[in-house]
Structure 1
Amino acid sequence: MPYAAEYILPLKWADIGAVAELSGYLEHLVRWVDVTVVDGSAGPFFERHARAFPAGVRHVRPDPELLRRGGNGKVLGVLTGLALARHERVIVADDDVRYRRPDLQRVLGLLDGADLVRPQNYFAPLPWHARWDTGRALLNRALASDYPGTLAIRRSIVVAAGGYSPDALFENLELIRTVRAAGGVEVRADDLFVRRIPCSARHFARQRVRQAYDSFAQPVRLAVELSVLPTVLLARPTGRQLAVIALTVVALAEVGRRRRGGRTVFHPAAALWAPVWLLERAVCSWLAVVCRVRGGVGYAGGRMKLAAHSERSLRIRWADGGHLGPPPRSPGSDST
């Protein structure tokens, strides 16, 4: 095993999915790191995955005790994997993330001097909806850093914090803030590019309001996003003024594309999609407000109200007792 590290992949598929492609990826991955797939898929799919995955992959179900403590299945899968992890260095990745060996080597090397490493995802191939979503990534890069579908963490700091909240919808931001609140060091590796396979256009459409809802965890960002639509409707800009606004957004996205070597992975025309994404977010942010009033955004057959805890609230909780994750079981709860 070239690297002393654990790769945790939380999985929950409700259909057949691209099992052969994922299995091929895992077959390469297990040559480099230990792999744990925490699979919350229904029985027939779980069994199909068990038959398809390489022998070197540890394939388990989520901890049933954790399932009673929160609604975000991805978080519960990660917490299950962390409890089973054989190494201090851990990579957490969604099922559409595809590391190459040089990516693994670099992210783990950065983790030697940090508690959390945040790479940059890019889409390949590039159907229309992946280009659309790339506009969001470029604006994030221009203003700060993007939020990828993978993070590298030190297991000990998350364990010391008692895990992180499975009640948060924006789970990667919740994990980042939890590590920072516990005194951990974050490295934003904006020039470490890890490929991501785009989802289907149908799944992309279903995610628009849910992703807009994530901005409730970032109030300043939410206020800006909510202001776009009223400003346009009230100001009634001319066609020329709209063109200037669109070009300004494109220019900002282009700054993000050029930052930290982004031109090596982001298409030359990628910034042109940023105004389209901004228009989408201007509408969906208000739909997210409607969801908030109704008790939260739809997720896995229910509703989730919390986008993510503020870092300030997590720091206060850490100072008071250090437990930032799922609440402990009550004295009267069942045990097995």
Structure 2
Amino acid sequence: MQYAAEYILPLKWNGAGPVTELAHYLRDLVRWIDVTVVDGSDEPSFDRHSRAFPPEVRHLRPDPDLVRRGGNGKVHGVLTGLAAARHELVVIADDDVRYRRPELQWVLELLEESDLVRPQNYFARLPWHARWDTGRTLLNRAFSSDYPGTLGVRRSTLLAAGGYCADALFENLELIRTVKAAGGVEARADDLFVARLPCSSRHFARQRVRQAYDSFAQPGRLAVELGLLPAVLLARPAPRHLALAGLAVVAVAEVGRRRRGGRHVFGPTAALWAPAWLLERAVCSWLAVASRARGGVRYAGGRMLLAAHPERYLRAQLEQRGVGGVVPAGATSPPAAPTRGPSGK
């Protein structure tokens, strides 16, 4: 049985890419949901993808009008797919996200009473850099929610808002804030775990400053991250004090690991990597400041200055256009936080 929903996958792979593995994933996916791949790859790669993908996959080029405006290529792909979607309920996912049917069903069930669903990603395989980045995930979970590479969204809510800004580097946060600014209801599904594949270690290294730059969209967080390195350099703590601080970071990460069933997907040693990630962020935050002084962080051969708009700014813009107060179909109040999957497990 297919769900009455659309799966949108923005893609840009120039040259060699793991197209065979992705094609196998899509062969399963098209049995459950309509799939649209919006592919901004070069012509040889686009043709290779077309031959590899199942015939049931709708394979599109990004809207050229969007591309000419510049900005974030992933947003171009999402907005193109959203305009072409055949259903109200939409799942947006990066090319490394791998849903199974139960998680997909759960997202769609939550979308019945909300405008946005925010699952939790975890790495299906754990090379060293995936373990390192899991430290970030656990710290995010300890204080709030993580930012996944997949979201569920109601098409009408996002289209009513006029889409979301393609000049934002932190595009998922921009999408989340746009939906909320339009009056949409967000369901944070911190115990809905969706697998993702780790990138190469080389790609991971290239992303360090760019990911630190995302914190410009969260000034309080940025202030803390920028304060870490000066605090250590000025205090010059003794080794035992550094060790105690590291243990405290591990303890906080362990809270995130245990929260909302996280132990089912995050291993018992996952929290031990959190101090390494925090040290990296303490350094890369200052490199991100230097990037901003040069006009923004490097992206796709250029620079992007904006991380994401504040929600109050987006709300004011939408109010000027008469957009807001969206009420999701069938909802009378914000949905309760999910505690069980569709099977009751």
TM range (shorter): over 0.9
Aligned partner letter, 1:22: L
Aligned partner letter, 1:86: R
1:19-74 Cα deviation digits (max 9, x unpaired)? 10000000000000000000000000000000000000000100001112231000
Distance, in Å, in 1 between the alignment partners of 2:93 and 2:311 is 22
1:134 counterpart residue number: 134
The answer to whether 1:248 aligns with 2:229 is: no
1:318 counterpart residue number: 318
Aligned partner letter, 2:129: H
Deviation at 1:14, TM superposition (A): 1.8
Residue 256 of structure 1: SS of its match in structure 2?
helix
- Contact kept, 8 Å, 2:215 with 2:222, in 1: the verdict is yes
1:334 counterpart residue number: none
- Contact kept, 8 Å, 1:72 with 1:166, in 2: the verdict is yes
1:332 counterpart residue number: none
- Contact kept, 8 Å, 2:182 with 2:323, in 1: the verdict is no
2:117 counterpart residue number: 117
TM-score, with structure 2 as normaliser: 0.93
What does residue range 1-336 of structure 1 map to in structure 2 within 5 Å? 1-322=1-322
Deviation at 1:245, TM superposition (A): 0.5
- Contact kept, 8 Å, 1:132 with 1:276, in 2: the verdict is yes
Distance, in Å, in 2 between the alignment partners of 1:100 and 1:17 is 22
Structure 1 unaligned blocks of 5 or more: 325-336
Moved over 4 A (4+): none
Deviation at 1:16, TM superposition (A): 1.3
Deviation at 1:2, TM superposition (A): 2.0
Distance, in Å, in 2 between the alignment partners of 1:226 and 1:79 is 34
Residue 64 of structure 2: SS of its match in structure 1?
coil
The structure-2 alpha-carbon separation of the partners of 1:168 and 1:323, relative to structure 1 and needing over 3 Å to count, comes to: farther
How many percent of aligned residue pairs carry the same amino acid? Answer: 76
Aligned partner letter, 1:190: D
Aligned partner letter, 1:149: G
Distance, in Å, in 2 between the alignment partners of 1:323 and 1:251 is 43
TM-score, with structure 1 as normaliser: 0.95
Distance, in Å, in 2 between the alignment partners of 1:57 and 1:2 is 14
Aligned partner letter, 1:116: L
Residue 169 of structure 1: SS of its match in structure 2?
coil
Deviation at 1:322, TM superposition (A): 4.7
The structure-2 alpha-carbon separation of the partners of 1:288 and 1:322, relative to structure 1 and needing over 3 Å to count, comes to: farther
Distance, in Å, in 2 between the alignment partners of 1:146 and 1:32 is 26
